[in-house]
Amino acid sequence: MYVPDIELHEARSVNDAAELLTRYAPDVKLLAGGTDLLVDLKTGRIATKHLVSIRNVREMRGVSMEGDVLRIGARTTITELSRSSIVRNRFAPLLDATRDMAAQQIRNVATVGGNLASAVSCADLPPILIVMRASVVLVSPNGQRTVPLEEFFAGVRRTVATNTEILTEILVPIPPERSGAAYARFALRDGNAIAVASVAAGIRFDEYGLIADARVVLGAVAPNPVMVDAAAETLRGSPPTDDAYERAAVAATKAARPISDIRGSAEFRCELIGVLTKRALTTARERAGGLESERTGE
C-alpha cells in the first residue's frame, strides 16, 4: 500500500501551520506523528491533496506547569509525556493510559494531540483526561478558544474543531486534595493492542472520608467517551465501599453502547465495563491517599 500523491508542507510555527491550513482548505490535513493518518491515507479511508506537517513546530512540544495547570504541547509524543517528571510526580494517572498504549516504536512518534484529534473511540488518553478535567486549546487565523475535553468529541471520528483549527495544547488542572484517579483498560494482549473496553474514574473525598465528587468515563463502548453521570450520582455521599462501587459499575454498564466486532461482542464489552469500573474506582481510591477518618481510626 502506498500513500497517494500528496503535497507535503512543513510548518515552522503555529501561525505558519494555521496559514497553510487556511490556504489549502478544505483539501488539507494536519500531520503530527502520522500513526493514525498515514494508515488512513494508505487504506483510502481518508483522501487529501495537502498535508501540513507540524513535526518542526517546537512551540507545540513539551510539558510544563504554569500556576496550577499542567500544559501539554499537542505535538508532545506519548513517550515524552510518560517520561516527564512533572507527569510522573503529580499527574500519575495519565501513565495508566500511556503505559499500555500501542508499542514503544509507536509511542515514540504518536502525539498527545493526535490521540485526541483523531477521535477514535478506543483511544486511551481521552477518558482519563476527561476525568482529570482537561481542556484543549484550538487556534486558527480567527483566534483561539479553549474547549473542555468532554465537549470536544462530536461523533464517529469527529470533533468540534473546524478543519482550519489546530489543537495546540492540552491543559490539565492540578488534582484537588483528597482526590485520586485511575484508568483501566482491557485488550486482547499486552503489547500493540487497542482497548476492547476501558474506564477512567476519579473520586474526591470530603474531610469525613465520604465521596464528595466522582467522575466515571467509558472508552471504546460508543463513538466517543461516555461520561456516566448516574455512576457519579450513586457514589456521591457514600463511603468508598464495595457496595458503592458495585452500584457505580451497574450504572456504567447501563450507559455503555458497545458494538460487536472481531475484538469482542457487545455483551462481553458490557461485562468488561462493570469489572473495569470497580478496578478503576479501587485504584483511584488508593491514590487519594490516607484519609483523615482512617488516620484517626474513626
Ligand X SMILES: Cc1cc2nc3c(=O)[nH]c(=O)nc-3n(C[C@H](O)[C@H](O)[C@H](O)COP(=O)(O)OP(=O)(O)OC[C@H]3O[C@@H](n4cnc5c(N)ncnc54)[C@H](O)[C@@H]3O)c2cc1C
Name which position in 28, 37, 182, 221 contacts ligand X (CB under 6 A): 37
Would you count residue 118 as binding ligand X (CB under 6 A)? yes
Does residue 263 touch ligand X according to CB under 6 A?
Answer: no
Our finding on whether 114 is near ligand X (CB under 6 A) is yes
Residue 87 contacts ligand X per CB under 6 A: no
CA distance 206 to 104: 39
Q: Which of 20, 21, 28, 33 binds ligand X (CB under 6 A)?
A: 33
Please count the residues of this chain forming the interface with ligand X, following the rule CB under 6 A: 28
Q: 169-190 b/e with 16+ CB inside 10 Å = b? A: bbbbeebeebbbbbbbbbbeee
Verify binding: residue 225, ligand X, rule CB under 6 A. no
Of 194, 197, 203, 249, the one binding ligand X by CB under 6 A: 194
Work out whether 72 is an interface residue with ligand X (CB under 6 A): no
74 belongs to the binding site for ligand X (CB under 6 A)? yes
Binding of ligand X by 111 (CB under 6 A): yes
Q: Which is nearer to ligand X, 14 or 251 (CB)?
A: 14
Burial class (CB in 10 A: 0-12, 13-18, 19+), 22: middle
Q: Which residues bind ligand X (CB under 6 A)?
A: 29-37, 39, 74, 101-102, 106, 110-111, 113-115, 117-118, 120, 123-124, 166-167, 192, 194
